[in-house]
Amino acid sequence: MLDPRLFRTDLDKVKQQLDRRSFAFDPAPYMALETRRKAVQVKTQELQNERNSRSKLVGQAKAKGEDVQPILDQMQHLGDDLKTAEAELAVVQNEMTALMAIIPNILDESVPDGKNEEANVEVSRWGSVPEFTFTPKDHVDLGAIHNRIDFGLGAKIAGARFVVLNGALARLQRAIIQLMLDTHTAEHGYSETYVPYLVNADSLYGTGQLPKFEADLFKANDDPALYLIPTAEVPVTNIVRDVIVDAKDLPLKFVCHSPCFRSEAGAYGRDVRGMIRQHQFEKVEIVQIVRPDESVRAHEELTRHAEIILEKLNLPYRKMLLCAGDTGFSSAKTYDLEVWLPGQGAYREISSCSNFKDFQARRLQARWRNPETGKPELVHTLNGSGLAAGRTLIAVIENYQDGQGRIHIPDVLLPYMGGVKVIE
């Protein structure tokens, strides 16, 4: 959520910034609510001041032995008026909060203009695209050859956009996940955490999925409302909800492996072939909670940590800076890492690394105590896929295939594969 002071001090600038996202923000409803809020707040404060003055008069009258009942009668009337004013103020403030809850984050100045992914900017590229002496197959055909990627069985058990992995390919995905966890904990300084796969509405509100994106979620029940997590970002970031972190404990760095569940509302017809877009998939998430003056550096660091996994696997990739129109709702700035998939002959997203600045923290009331002032201030939150395990599996399968349809295991994964070097 954006700082309300931005709306009060420079509403035109807020609108200009939101225009970069092509977000249709009409200042009029906000201005009307703000006018109401000011009027009701002034009235409330005046009634509070008058009640306090009357209370002093009661004390003075009692000290003089005078009859205080007339003053008490007036105070009763004041008390009723004050309750009415406070209730009205709460209604206005709730309406303002509801309005601001659907407004996206202000973009960082370094984010380029643009309406969609075609305007994203390539920052760097790593590795060489493999050259094959045969026509490379995609992961669907390779999985069919090995009879180890079974979409039909996934559909039978659950429905469309589910899959069953068997044998060596299931183990290969597990090996990829283990490599990520070992690297991020032993080399990058993250603390591994295990979190619930079901979260409440407050958690999803805190990270920005609710109320705007409820259609993208799987809702498990209504009383109380619980949702399957779309990403471990939600429960992990909520570790600091309503917490004041000691300055000496920052930065907080978490890594978490979890399944992710997404309804893919609005994505029908996109990536219907294969494992690119599933309702359930595995991901290793990295999260950082930092001081505000550290978030720019932390964003580069966190993104680099995801890149290192790709480099360990020797998978060609490129780093993209997302443009204004392609940057997510809560993010101020996002890098996407796109891995080369020979079966598609294209780079596809495998990690998204975002700096949310204080946008999530304000919703979460996640703070740190600044030792210079002694006062609580909002932290900055960041996260990224480190990496999406299913898409990494696809990339390994397609980049390490040979002309006979065999899949060679990358050297860095051999310690996790129990001696298997080639999936025949």
pLDDT band at 72 (very low <50, low <70, confident <90, very high): low
Cβ burial 194-225 (10 Å sphere, 16+ → b, else e): ebebebebebbbbbbbbeebeeebeeeeeeee
Catalytic residue check, 352: yes
**Tens of pLDDT, residues 104-124:** 999 999 999 999 999 999 999
pTM of the model: 0.92
**Tens of pLDDT, residues 282-320:** 999 999 999 999 999 999 999 999 999 999 999 999 999
Average pLDDT rounded to a whole number, residues 170-198:
98
Domain segments of the chain: what residues? 26-102, 117-423
* Residues of the chain above pLDDT 70, percent: 94
* CATH architecture for residues 26-102: Orthogonal Bundle (1.10)
Q: Is the pLDDT of residue 78 over 90?
A: no
Q: Which of 174, 277, 318, 369 is catalytic?
A: 277
Average pLDDT rounded to a whole number, residues 319-340:
98
* Interstrand relation of 121-126 and 317-321 (parallel, antiparallel or unpaired): antiparallel
For the annotated binding site, the residues are 231-233, 262-264, 285, 349-352, 383, 385
pLDDT band at 266 (very low <50, low <70, confident <90, very high): low
pLDDT band at 404 (very low <50, low <70, confident <90, very high): very high
Q: Is the pLDDT of residue 276 over 70?
A: yes
Catalytic residue check, 262: yes
Average pLDDT rounded to a whole number, residues 147-159:
95
Q: Look up the CATH number of domain 117-423.
A: 3.30.930.10
Q: Alpha carbon 295 to chain centroid distance? A: 15
For the annotated binding site for L-serine, the residues are 231-233, 262, 285, 383, 385
- ∠ at Cα 201 (211, 362), nearest 5°? 70
Catalytic residue check, 304: no
Predicted pLDDT at 60? 66
Predicted pLDDT at 48? 84
**Tens of pLDDT, residues 53-65:** 767 766 666 666 6
Catalytic residue check, 192: no
Average pLDDT rounded to a whole number, residues 34-52:
89
Q: Is the pLDDT of residue 75 over 80?
A: no
**Tens of pLDDT, residues 340-373:** 999 999 999 999 999 999 999 999 999 999 999 9
Q: Is the pLDDT of residue 327 over 80?
A: yes
Q: Which of 258, 352, 354, 398 is catalytic?
A: 352
Catalytic residue check, 406: no
